[in-house]
């Protein structure tokens, strides 16, 4: 992973969502924390081009998020805070297969790809279930399956443990730990980040800290409780 922000910032009408910043991300697992409205989600969305910089540039593995938008989207997958919004088809197996439908695969190859990702994430038992029948943690894993089957190198997850009970949180955390893709996670679940390689702390639209998990979490607690 090689993500570069070069004096990249974002403004919406008369509001600065993210002040220009320059940094490079190349660790395997990176956390993003901050109070609501601090700029963390804007920053993450700029990585895969969902939000375009209004100043500076953002590149992902040498690809510009504006000029090479389609190529960046193929390399960076984004799981939103409510993964159910990303599930298009009612049957889980069909939804996971959807991302490969236009790639010219035979039915046998498509079925094999779906089976492989179901097994890799340990959710074979969900293949023929309906999305509205499964738990929040299972929905997160289905969204992961639907993204990873298309082969992105980087995954961004927005609040992956939000509103999950202890069992489902543990399920999602265990699955995340085993992912081969580089992972960028926006979260208020501070314990989730304790084993990460690097954590960014945002505050009032600026990067407040860029450090180890323990230090970042301490600084964030000071911000939040001051």
Residue 135, pLDDT score: 86
- Can you read off the two tokens belonging to residue 2? 């090689």
Rounded CA separation 137/133 (Å): 12
pLDDT class for 86, splitting at 50, 70, 90? confident
* Cβ-Cβ contacts under 8 Å for 171 (sequence gap 6 or more): 137, 138, 141
131-165: pLDDT as tens digits: 888 888 888 889 889 988 988 999 999 999 988 88
Across 49-53, 57-61, 129-133, 196-200, least confident range: 129-133
What DSSP state is assigned to residue 130?
B
**Domains with residue ranges and CATH for the chain:** 3-225 (3.40.50.300)
List of residues 6+ apart from 77 with CB closer than 8 A: 48, 147, 148, 150, 152, 154, 155, 156, 181
User: What's the CA gap between 124 and 147, in Å, rounded?
Assistant: 16
Could you tell me if 146 and 96 are in contact, meaning their C-beta atoms sit under 8 angstroms apart?
yes
Mean pLDDT of the chain: 92
Per-residue pLDDT, 167 = 87
pLDDT at position 75 over 90: yes
Rounded CA separation 16/12 (Å): 6
Calculate the alpha carbon distances from 14 to 10, 11, 57, 124 in Å.
Answer: 11, 7, 20, 48
Q: How many CB atoms lie within 10 A of CB 57?
A: 14
pTM: 0.91
Higher pLDDT, 164 or 193: 193
* CA neighbor of 96 nearest in space, from 139, 40, 54: 139
Averaged pLDDT for residues 106-111:
86
φ, ψ dihedrals at 57, nearest 5°? -140, 155
Q: For residue 29, give the 3-state DSSP assignment.
A: strand
Query: Tell me, what's the pLDDT at 194?
Result: 94
Q: What's the rounded Cα separation, in Å, for the pair 114 and 97?
A: 6
> Parallel, antiparallel, or unpaired: how do β-strands 29-34 and 198-203 relate?
parallel
CB 22 within 8 A of CB 6: yes
Write down the pLDDT at residue 80: 87
């Amino acid at each position: 992973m090689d993500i570069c922000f070069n004096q990249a910032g974002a403004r919406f009408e008369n509001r600065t969502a993210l002040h220009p910043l320059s940094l490079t991300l190349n660790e395997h697992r990176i956390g993003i924390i901050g109070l609501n409205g601090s700029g963390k989600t804007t920053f993450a969305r700029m990585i895969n081009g969902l939000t375009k910089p209004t100043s500076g540039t953002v590149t992902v593995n040498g690809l510009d998020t504006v000029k090479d938008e389609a190529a960046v989207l193929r390399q960076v997958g984004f799981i939103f805070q409510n993964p159910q919004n990303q599930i298009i088809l009612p049957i889980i197996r069909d939804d996971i297969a959807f991302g490969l439908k236009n790639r010219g695969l035979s039915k046998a190859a498509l079925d094999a790809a779906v089976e492989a990702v179901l097994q890799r994430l340990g959710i074979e038992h969900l293949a023929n279930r309906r999305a509205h029948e499964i738990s929040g943690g299972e929905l997160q894993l289905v969204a992961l399956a639907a993204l990873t089957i298309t082969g992105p190198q980087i995954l961004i997850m927005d609040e992956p443990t939000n509103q999950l009970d202890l069992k489902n949180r543990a399920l999602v955390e265990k699955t995340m730990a085993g992912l081969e893709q580089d992972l960028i996670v926006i979260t208020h679940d501070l314990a989730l980040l304790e084993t990460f390689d690097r954590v960014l702390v945002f505050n009032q639209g600026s990067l407040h800290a860029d450090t180890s998990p323990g230090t970042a979490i301490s600084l964030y607690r000071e911000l939040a409780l001051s």
